Amino acid sequence: MNAERLLARFLRYVQVDTTAREGADEYPSSPGQWELGRLLVEELQLLGLQDAHQTERAIVLATLPPTVPHPVDTIALSAHLDTSPETTGANVRPQVIRHYPGGDIPLPANPNQVIRVESNPELEALVGKTLITTDGSTLLGADDKAGIAAIMEAVAFLSEHPELPRGPVRICFTCDEEIGRGVDFVDLASLGATVAYTLDGSAASEIDVETFSANLATVVVRGVNIHPSIAKDRMVNAVRAAADFLKRLPHDALSPETTSDREGFLHPYAIEGGVAEVSIRILLRDFDTPALDRHAELLRRAARQTEAAFPGASLEVHVRPQYRNMADGLPREPRAVEYAEQAHRNLNRAYRRSIIRGGTDGSRFTALGLPTPNLSTGEHNPHSTLEWTCLEEMVAAAEHLVELVQVWARGGT
C-alpha cells in the first residue's frame, strides 16, 4: 500500500469545504460536495473505472470490474462526502506530525486548543506514527474523508494488481450523511450489491455491528412580542419559555455528558430565535428503538409544563425518524460481518465487533435491505476542532478492504 499517496489524497480532499447545511432544501446541501465529487470522478476514471460518474444528486458511483471468471457477489464500498455542520470545514489547514513523539499536541492556530493524552489515551499506542490534526480553527474532515481516502487507495491498489482475485466492487460516495440524508437518493437496485461496507469508523480493526436508533425533535416555542416599553402583562417571551423548557429536561441522566456504552440520550444541540419564536433542535438516541417514543413523550410532557408556567406561550414538538439500529438487519446476511472478520484474520490482526454511539449511512442501508457493517478508518474526535487521524490506521483500513474483496472472491476464505 502506498502510504504517501494515501496521505496526499487525504490532504487534497480535506481542502474542499463540504460542510453540510441543516435546513437546506436541496440535496446535496452545499456546493463543495459537488466539487469533491467531481474530483473523485476524475481520479476514478484515471484509475480505469470508466463508468465513474456523478448522479443528478451529486452521488458518486463507479464499478471496479471483476478479475475472476466465476460468478461472485457484488459488494459496495461507501463513504460520505460531507462534513459535520457543528464545526466549520472551510479553510482547513492540517498539520502533519511525522514520528509522533508522544505527549499532548498543541494546535497552532489557538493556544487554548490542545489534543491531550488524558482525553485521547489511544495516542499512547501511536508513538512513532504519522498523525494529522487540525490547526485548531476548523474540524479536520477525517469524518469521512479518511474513509474516502482509504477506499480510493484500495481501488488504486486493486487496479494496479489485476492478479488479485476479486468480484465486482461498486463504489458509492454519498452526500449529507451528517444531516441524516445520506442515502435519500441512492438507488439500491441500480447499485446491485449483496452487501455494502461503510468506511466511517474510529481507530483501527473494529467492525461496527450496532448503532443508535435516531430521531430528530424540533421544538417550536411561540410567545407574544411587543415593545418592551409597554410589555407589562402583555409580552410572553419565547426565549424565557425556551430556557424553562430546557431546564425541565434531564441533566444528570439522558444527556451525552452523563451517558456511555448502551445508554441513550436527549441532546439539545441548536437553538435560534427571539422573543416571538424560538426553535430548538434535539437529537433523540437509543439502542432500543422503542425507547425513542419514550424520549419524545418526555419532551411533550416538558412542553406542557412550560405552557402551564408561561400562560400565552405555545410549544409544538415535531419528531421525525433519522436512522435505525443496524443490528436489526445485519443477521439477514451473516457473511457481511463474517467475511470482514476473516479478512482481519488473514492479515493476522486482532479485531473486535463494536457498537457506535451514533449512526452511519449503513444504518439506513441496512434498514432498506442492504446489510452494511461499518469499518474503521482512523477517525478520532470527529465534529471537533480537536479532530485528528493516523495515517497508519488509514493504511490499515485500505489493506483490510483489499483483503476483504479477495475473501468475497474466494467464497469466505
Angle at 153 between CA 148 and CA 154, to 5 degrees: 100
Contacts of 163 (CB under 8 A, 6+ apart): 67
Residue 400: HSE in the Cβ half-sphere, 13 Å Cα cutoff:
32
Sheet strands side by side (includes 277-286):
265-273, 277-286, 213-222, 314-323
For residue 132, give the C-alpha cell.
Answer: 494529522
CA of residue 39 relative to chain centroid, distance: 21
Query: What DSSP designation does 343 have?
Result: H
Place of cell 494515501: 6
Share of the chain above pLDDT 70, in %: 100
Checking if the pLDDT of 412 tops 90, the result is yes
Residue 129 has what pLDDT? 98
Q: Are 112 and 205 in contact (CB under 8 A)?
A: no
Catalytic residue among 143, 177, 286, 379: 177
Query: Nearest to residue 179, comparing CAs of 33, 389, 387?
Result: 33
Determine the Cα–Cα distance for residues 405 and 413; give it in Å rounded to an integer: 11
Strand partners, 115: 105
Average pLDDT, the chain: 97
Determine the Cα–Cα distance for residues 365 and 323; give it in Å rounded to an integer: 9
Question: What count of residues does the chain have?
Answer: 413
Catalytic residue status for 272: no
Checking if the pLDDT of 22 tops 90, the result is no
Contacts of 165 (CB under 8 A, 6+ apart): 67, 68, 406, 409, 410
Catalytic residue status for 328: no
Catalytic residue among 82, 178, 200, 361: 82
Determine the Cα–Cα distance for residues 228 and 399; give it in Å rounded to an integer: 65
What is the per-residue pLDDT across 300-354, written as a single tens digit (0 to 9) for each?
999 999 999 999 999 999 999 989 999 999 999 999 999 999 999 999 999 999 9
Q: Are 75 and 169 in contact (CB under 8 A)?
A: yes
Checking if the pLDDT of 262 tops 90, the result is yes
Phi, psi angle pair for 367, to nearest 5°: -65, -30
Checking if the pLDDT of 388 tops 90, the result is yes
Determine the Cα–Cα distance for residues 338 and 374; give it in Å rounded to an integer: 13
Phi, psi angle pair for 28, to nearest 5°: -70, 165
What is the per-residue pLDDT across 41-58, written as a single tens digit (0 to 9) for each?
999 999 999 999 999 999
Query: Nearest to residue 18, comparing CAs of 176, 173, 151?
Result: 176
Query: Nearest to residue 190, comparing CAs of 170, 162, 165?
Result: 170
Query: What DSSP designation does 326 have?
Result: G
Place of cell 473494529: 206
What is the per-residue pLDDT across 143-177, written as a single tens digit (0 to 9) for each?
999 999 999 999 999 999 999 999 999 999 999 99
When computed from its CA atoms, the radius of gyration of the chain, rounded to whole angstroms, is 23
Domains of the chain: 3-211+325-409 (3.40.630.10), 213-322 (3.30.70.360)
* Interval 198-209 mean pLDDT: 95
Contacts of 227 (CB under 8 A, 6+ apart): none
Upstream peptide bond of 144 is cis (omega within 30 degrees of 0): yes
Residue 411 has what pLDDT? 96
